[in-house]
Structure 1
Amino acid sequence: MRKVIIGSIMAATTLIATGEEGLKNLRGVDQELDGIFLREIKYDDWTYIGAEEGVITKVVNDILKENKGKDGFLDTATREYGDGNWQYEWDQIAAEAERSGDYEKAAAYYTVSAYPYFKDSRENYNSYVVNAMENYQKVVEEDGFYYEKIEVDTPQGKAYANLHLPEKNGKDYPVVIFTGGSDVFAIEYYRLFKEYLAEQGIAYISFELPGMGINSHLTYTPDTNIVHRGVIEKIKKDPRFNGKIVVGASSLGGQPAVRTAFTNEEDVTAVVNFCGALSDVWKGINPETVSYLPMLNQVVLADRLDTSIKGFAEAAPEYSLENQGYLGKMKTSVDIMSIGTSTDPVAPVSDAELVTDASDNGVNVIVASEVGHGMPRSVVLPLISGYIVDKLK
């Protein structure tokens, strides 16, 4: 294993509420909407996919004002689809962008509308699966690339993924398979393809994990990489691809990505795991400790697992890759790069060390930082793109 420690990064920009002054944009400040909003306001991530700072500030302030004085989380206080409702307010902004022909902003705002996505919400389905994806396809095609929604087989039935090609009629493509976490949508990493992979002649496939977005009809069971395996089988039969595959993921997606290095060892060239929740955090969750997790994480993970918060707490240890017999017990010939911060409680350095120790050619990149879990995509994508391109050439 090679360990690399690189310089510190600043904490991501956050949005905080400060009394009558409303929402402020500050850097390096902890999220002070905790306890006020269920959702985290992900300023850096949303501006990175096309949202505007001023629009985020305005919509969140409007929701705060509309629900002022109500009980519970203010972003969930208005459940009917109208003024003050999270989905409604963001859908209005998204529809306005769509009417003006700004499909990138429309896709971004519809995606924020659906965040963090609950499978029983018709508004979530319409905002993301219908509207965000429709605008996203227009963005990809306007950029001169080929887009195709593909269908793959899994033990739970059909799953869906987004295929991107540098050219429609190209062939002999290596491919990157990429996923985000439990509340990150497939379209949010498009810039990895647009800015780094396409010019190198590399195809790109993205999808949501089971239980979310276009795969919300599936359940995130301990067999977490069912969609990955289905996509790989699809690739192997498609003459457009040359058989070289890199799998990448962040946060909750890191677990199925790393798992694929073991279940599909002969098919995968390399895995990139950044800030992946692989083992330690899963082993530590039980009915007594689950309350220490932020409420957003509790309700989102219960939704993905198709259970209650109590059910999630009871099942969590089954998701640990150590408990499943992979990490600490098995080796893989797949090259693995792990990237994480030095202060991440969800993806601790010890998890990354287990991963890179399991690989014949493991690299562990530690970013000295006080950010905690996750890093800005503007920092991560340049770090991983060179590694990916090198493995696929």
Structure 2
Amino acid sequence: MKENLSEVLFKPRINVVETSTVSNSSAAQLSAVGQEEGRNWYRILRREYWAWLGLDPIETESLFADIAMCDKPRTSELLDTIGGYQPGNWNYEWMQRAVKHQISAKDAEQNGQRDKAYQEFLLASYSATIAAYPHFKGDDLVASAHALAHSNLMAATEQSKYECKTINVPIDGKQVACYLHLPDTDSVKPVVMVSGGLDTIQTELYPFFERFLAPAGIAMLTVDMPGAGHCLNWKLQQDSSRIHLAILDHLPKVPWVDDARVAMLGYRFAGNVAARLAFVAAERLRAVVTIGAPVDRLFSDIQRFNNLPQMYQDCLANRSGVNASNTEGLYYRCMPLSLKTQGILGGPRTKLPMFVVGRKNDAICPETDVSLLSMASPNCKVEVLKELDSLQNYNQIFTKVTHWLQKQL
């Protein structure tokens, strides 16, 4: 059975689109510009974050080494641009790791090792999620990776003491699937809507619930960003909070949560959405948390925009349905995403309590954006983290955010 899984379901295929070319017709000319010195990768390697998810850093570095040492043809000089679903290709290597964890999980499940099965299903889900990273619409290999990530997350929740419900929200005649994670179903719970960056999907948001919100008795409703995951059919546009507003409209119909006790937490670009909701949906929320949110300077300073890593520019292009090869054109298309340009920030304040988290020397959310957000509400708590990511940073800030949310909800 194991041979069938790896040899049939995950058989190498050469004729698939290479990820860096999906939203950039000039991908063959890419160099390491915008990346840290010595890191010639197209993808931004989120080592600390992936370790925080629970993935073994030694195994991760070994996988990176396999990609770097592979001598197959690449689209550009960047290491993770090997085309085709084959050894050395980013998606292929991470999918093999996902399958390994899935097999281990099923073996544990059959042997009655519930805790091990739970952890291995989660690792399979996270590995498949990273296989699809950065989750481009039009990437031939994304759908199968997402399917594996979602199925393994659901399998993990079946081994868990917590509950997970799929909530289908009607928007524009279509359905958007959101995951509602519940500490239990004994009573209705306060709920936090959580979304991540443009390079994030719902499956990787689970640790915030498992380690922080669930022990605090708070439910979590995860939502994909426009253009990614279950929101693939929507484009990123000035009205970036449209999907989240539709979900707020739907919440009174969800029996497990208290729609009068709702907060929103947005990481990276979802922080832009959260800040927007603090004004356009203030009467329906109790609190808003933004973490590293780009709300102005990235979209009003062309030099800062030009200095973005190519992967992030391609994310913005992909979510907007345009080509990233014309950086100036992409910049002008993204300008309306500035909440200051929209007249939301920098004017009258919201009464909603806000918790604003920034980081020193952050290119995406500079200190001017943190300052702008801090002035958005008279009841605003601000935390500025050290420059470097670390497991300690993640745990400390999520602990503080959870304690703060408990008081607001």
Deviation at 1:356, TM superposition (A): 2.5
2:364 maps to what in 1? Answer: 346
1:46 maps to what in 2? Answer: 50
2:6 maps to what in 1? Answer: none
The 8 Å contact of residues 299 and 331 in structure 2, kept in 1 or not, is answered as: no
The 5 A counterparts of 1:1-393 are: 31-34=36-39, 36-67=40-71, 70=74, 72-101=76-105, 102-128=120-146, 130-155=147-172, 157-167=174-184, 169-242=185-258, 243-285=260-302, 290-309=305-324, 310=326, 311-367=329-385, 369-371=386-388, 376-392=393-409
SS in 2 for 1:228: helix
State the AA in 1 paired with 2:322. Answer: T
CA pair 371-289 structure 1, distance change in 2 beyond 3 A: closer
The 8 Å contact of residues 31 and 40 in structure 1, kept in 2 or not, is answered as: no
CA pair 382-98 structure 1, distance change in 2 beyond 3 A: same
Within 1, Cα distance between the matches of 2:163 and 2:304? 46
The 8 Å contact of residues 265 and 289 in structure 2, kept in 1 or not, is answered as: yes
Deviation at 1:291, TM superposition (A): 3.3
| CA offset digits 1:293-313 (Å, max 9, x no partner) | 211111111111111223422
Within 1, Cα distance between the matches of 2:271 and 2:69? 38
Within 2, Cα distance between the matches of 1:142 and 1:374? 26
User: Larger deviation: 263-272 or 181-190?
Assistant: 181-190
The structure that is helix-richer by fraction is 2
Within 2, Cα distance between the matches of 1:184 and 1:345? 18
State the AA in 2 paired with 1:138. Answer: A
TM-score by length of 1: 0.85
RMSD: 2.3
CA pair 290-338 structure 1, distance change in 2 beyond 3 A: closer
CA pair 68-37 structure 1, distance change in 2 beyond 3 A: farther
TM-score by length of 2: 0.82
Deviation at 1:72, TM superposition (A): 1.1
State the AA in 1 paired with 2:316. Answer: L
State the AA in 1 paired with 2:83. Answer: R
Within 2, Cα distance between the matches of 1:374 and 1:120? 33
Within 2, Cα distance between the matches of 1:385 and 1:229? 23
| CA offset digits 1:90-132 (Å, max 9, x no partner) | 111111110111212111110110111111123111102x100
State the AA in 2 paired with 1:331. Answer: R
SS in 2 for 1:354: helix
- Structure 1: 5+ residue stretches without partners: 1-29
Give structure 1 regions of 4+ aligned residues with deviation exceeding 6 angstroms: 372-375
Query: Identity across aligned pairs (percent)?
Result: 25
The 8 Å contact of residues 177 and 247 in structure 1, kept in 2 or not, is answered as: yes
The 8 Å contact of residues 75 and 86 in structure 1, kept in 2 or not, is answered as: no
| CA offset digits 1:258-307 (Å, max 9, x no partner) | 1011111110000011111111111113xx76432211111111111111
SS in 2 for 1:100: helix
CA pair 340-317 structure 1, distance change in 2 beyond 3 A: same
Deviation at 1:177, TM superposition (A): 0.5
Within 2, Cα distance between the matches of 1:372 and 1:49? 13
The 8 Å contact of residues 68 and 80 in structure 2, kept in 1 or not, is answered as: no
Which structure is richer in relative contact order (CA contacts within 8 A, separation 6 or more)?
1
The 8 Å contact of residues 274 and 340 in structure 1, kept in 2 or not, is answered as: yes
State the AA in 2 paired with 1:131. Answer: L
Deviation at 1:345, TM superposition (A): 2.5
The structure that is strand-richer by fraction is 1
Within 2, Cα distance between the matches of 1:354 and 1:289? 17
CA pair 347-186 structure 1, distance change in 2 beyond 3 A: same
State the AA in 1 paired with 2:369. Answer: D
| CA offset digits 1:104-163 (Å, max 9, x no partner) | 2111110110111111123111102x1001111122232211112212133584322111
Deviation at 1:41, TM superposition (A): 1.6
The 8 Å contact of residues 297 and 338 in structure 2, kept in 1 or not, is answered as: yes
2:13 maps to what in 1? Answer: none
